[in-house]
Structure 1
Amino acid sequence: MKILLLSAYDAASHVYWRTGLVENLDQHQWTVLTLPPRYFSWRIRGNSLSWAFNQRETLEQPYDLVVATSMTDLSALRGFVPHLASIPTLVYFHENQFAYPESGREYGNVEPKILNLYTALAADHICFNTAYNRTTFLSGCRELLKKLPDQVPPGVVEWLEQRSSVLPVPLPQSAYLPHDPQPGPVRLIWNHRWEFDKGPQQLLSAVERLLDSDVDFRLDMVGQQFRNVPEPFRQLKSLLQARAGQVGFVESVEQYRRLLQQADLVVSTALHDFQGIAVLEGVAAGAMPLVPNRLAYPELFPADCCYSSGDGECESLVAAVVRYAHCKHAGEDIPTPDISALSWDNMVSHYERLVQRVVNPGAG
Structure 2
Amino acid sequence: MNNADFIIIEPFYGGSHKVLIDSITHSFQNENINYSLVTLPSKKWHWRARCGALQLYEKIPKITNQKTLFASSVLNISELIGMRPDLSPLKKIIYFHENQLIYPVQEIKSRDVQYAYNQITSCLAADIVLFNSEFNMSSFLNNIHRILKCLPDHRPKSIKDKIALKSTVLYFPISFPMQSIKEKSMSVLHIVWPHRWEFDKGPNDFFEVLFRLKLENIPFQVSVLGEVYSEVPKIFEKAKQELSDNIVQFGYVHSKESYYDVLSSAHVAVSTAKHEFFGVSMLEATYCGCFPLVPNSLVYPEIYPQQCLYKNNEDLYKQLQKFCLNPSLSVKLRQDCDIDVEKYSNSRLIPTYLEIIKGS
Task: Give the equivalent residue in structure 2 for 1:343.
Answer: 345
Cα deviation 1:14-60 (Å, max 9, x = unaligned): 0111111222354232221111223334322322222222x15x142
For structure 2, list consecutive stretches of 5 or more residues without a partner in the other structure.
Answer: none
Q: CA deviation at 1:124?
A: 0.1
Task: Give the equivalent residue in structure 1 for 2:72.
Answer: 69
The number of residue pairs the alignment matches comes to 352
How far apart are the structure 1 equivalents of 2:142 and 2:178?
Answer: 34
Q: Is the 8 A contact 2:323 2:330 kept in 1?
A: no
Task: Give the equivalent residue in structure 2 for 1:107.
Answer: 110
How far apart are the structure 2 equivalents of 1:352 and 1:330?
Answer: 42
Task: Give the equivalent residue in structure 2 for 1:46.
Answer: 51
Residue 340 to residue 76, structure 1, CA distance change in 2 (3 Å): same
Task: Give the equivalent residue in structure 1 for 2:95.
Answer: 92
How far apart are the structure 1 equivalents of 2:355 and 2:56?
Answer: 29
Residue 92 to residue 204, structure 1, CA distance change in 2 (3 Å): same
Aligned 1:264-343 pairs, distance under 5 A: 264-308=267-311, 313-329=312-328, 333-335=332-334, 336=337, 337-343=339-345
Task: Give the equivalent residue in structure 2 for 1:121.
Answer: 124
1:244 aligns with 2:244: no
Task: Give the equivalent residue in structure 2 for 1:20.
Answer: 23
Aligned 1:160-239 pairs, distance under 5 A: 160-174=163-177, 176-213=179-216, 215-239=218-242
How far apart are the structure 1 equivalents of 2:70 and 2:64?
Answer: 14
* Of 19, 27, 36, the match for 1:31: 36
TM, length-normalised to structure 1: 0.90
Cα deviation 1:223-275 (Å, max 9, x = unaligned): 21122221111111111121111111212222111001111111111111111
Output the amino acid matched with 2:38.
L
SS at match of 1:261: helix
SS at match of 2:70: strand
Q: Is the 8 A contact 1:52 1:59 kept in 2?
A: no
SS at match of 1:32: strand
Residue 164 to residue 177, structure 1, CA distance change in 2 (3 Å): farther
Q: Is the 8 A contact 1:194 1:229 kept in 2?
A: yes
Q: Is the 8 A contact 2:101 2:147 kept in 1?
A: no
SS at match of 1:291: strand
The alignment yields a C-alpha RMSD, in angstroms, of 2.1
How far apart are the structure 1 equivalents of 2:95 and 2:357?
Answer: 12
How far apart are the structure 2 equivalents of 1:85 and 1:123?
Answer: 9
How far apart are the structure 1 equivalents of 2:288 and 2:326?
Answer: 19
For structure 1, list consecutive stretches of 5 or more residues without a partner in the other structure.
Answer: none
Q: Is the 8 A contact 1:6 1:69 kept in 2?
A: yes
How far apart are the structure 2 equivalents of 1:330 and 1:42?
Answer: 46
1:148 aligns with 2:148: no
How far apart are the structure 2 equivalents of 1:285 and 1:329?
Answer: 16
SS at match of 2:245: helix
How far apart are the structure 2 equivalents of 1:322 and 1:240?
Answer: 16
Q: CA deviation at 1:175?
A: 6.5
How far apart are the structure 2 equivalents of 1:2 and 1:332?
Answer: 48
Structure 1 residues 167-176 or 109-118, which shifts more?
167-176
1:131 aligns with 2:130: no
